[in-house]
Structure 1
Amino acid sequence: MPDVRVLVVDDQQTFRRAIAAVVSETDGFVVVDSAASGEDSLTAVDRLHPDLVLMDVNLPGIDGIEATRRMTLEPDAPVVVLLSTYDEDEIGTSGCGAASYVSKAAFGPDRLAAIWAAATR
């Protein structure tokens, strides 16, 4: 079975590196690229066709929720998981097309694998 191709989107380089490290430590997942803005994420999805996008909610320009909404309208849309330092009830994610929301503090290899398994059933 081929690796799950992951795009990491976060405006903070430290978080992009941390999330990419978690992805790299998870069997069956590989980072194909990263992006620092909502606009860049849309371009990267069009160019790379990742299977999974790990999307920060708070981004400059188009925020992660709007970028998710736009990319999940496409017929071959990737699975998108929203990430943030906020609790889920503090942000409005319903209706944007994301498969799930995970706080950055709770994100790890086991959680990544579980989210992917649930999203692809």
Structure 2
Amino acid sequence: MSDRIRIMIADDQELVRYGMRLVLEAEPDIEVVGEAEDGASAVREAERLRPDVVLMDVRMPGVDGIEATRRITGLYPATRVLVLTTYDLDDYAFGALRAGASGFLLKDTRPAALTGAIRAVADGDAVVAPRVTAKLIELASPRLPGPDRHDAHSVLSVLTTREREVLQRIGEGETNGEIAERFFLSESTVKTHVGRILSKLGLRDRVQAVILAYDLGVVGR
């Protein structure tokens, strides 16, 4: 099928790759086109295969998942990266998000959530799990530079009041549905606001919006 989502799995554990392949190949719209056992081979295989989505472990020998993510998203922007992490590796996952990943999943994510996340990312969205996002920020924020309030005002001046409110809720990890309910809007209206925010601020996706919201102090640390 030409419309299948082409997936590459990058993980240094063969058993993990095998398990993910079994789960993904059971889906009619997903095709696993390759595997990589470390970051360097992930970059090489991404160049050769040009997959739609890479499932990327963060801790691998040699070139780790963060650097591999940076190289892949820099060289092949059409290829999206989903980071795989565990709670004790949240700091690594945050680094990968800064490197250009489109989201992150826990390694114990249920199969349905995994495939749903892959479809969302392949469709141009980003996967930001609210509770995990909060923990990522909690761990990573002490090492982030403090926001420059003057710069924050300058950056955010291009947004309307409503768009600033939506950006804050994005930073808090709320979904479009939750934002719509909070402000008594339709989900399509919220989606429009999100799209305008990304366009005005020059952001690639929702993940970058979360990071910017914290960097600028839109969301409290």
Task: Find the counterpart in structure 2 of residue 84 from structure 1.
Answer: 85
Query: Is the Cα contact below 8 Å between 1:99 and 1:119 reproduced in 2?
Result: no
- Residue 53 of structure 2 aligns to which amino acid in structure 1? L
Other-structure match for 2:146: none
Relative to total residues, which structure has the larger helix share, 1 or 2? Answer: 2
Superposed CA RMSD: 1.9
Seq. identity, %: 36
Deviations 1:22-46 (A, max 9, x none): 2112230010010101000011011
Aligned residue runs from structure 1 range 42-121, under 5 A: 42-86=43-87, 89-91=90-92, 92-93=94-95, 94-118=97-121, 120-121=123-124
User: How far apart in 2 are the matches of 1:88 and 1:37?
Assistant: 17
- 1:53-107 superposed Cα distances (whole Å, 9 cap, x missing partner): 0011111001001100110012543110000233564433331111110011014
Unaligned runs of 5+ in 2: 125-221
Distance in 2, Cα, partners of 1:119 & 1:45? 15
Give the TM-score, by structure 2 length. Answer: 0.50
Query: Aligned pair 1:30/2:25, yes or no?
Result: no
CA shift for structure 1 position 3? 0.5
**Structure 1 portions without partners, runs of 5+:** none
Which protein shows a greater Rg?
2
Q: Any idea what SS the aligned residue of 2:74 has?
A: coil
**Contact persistence 1:7–1:34 (CA under 8 A):** yes
Size of the aligned set, in residue pairs, is 121
Q: Which has the higher contact order (CA 8 A, sep 6+)?
A: 1
TM-score by length of 1: 0.87
Name the structure with the higher strand share: 1
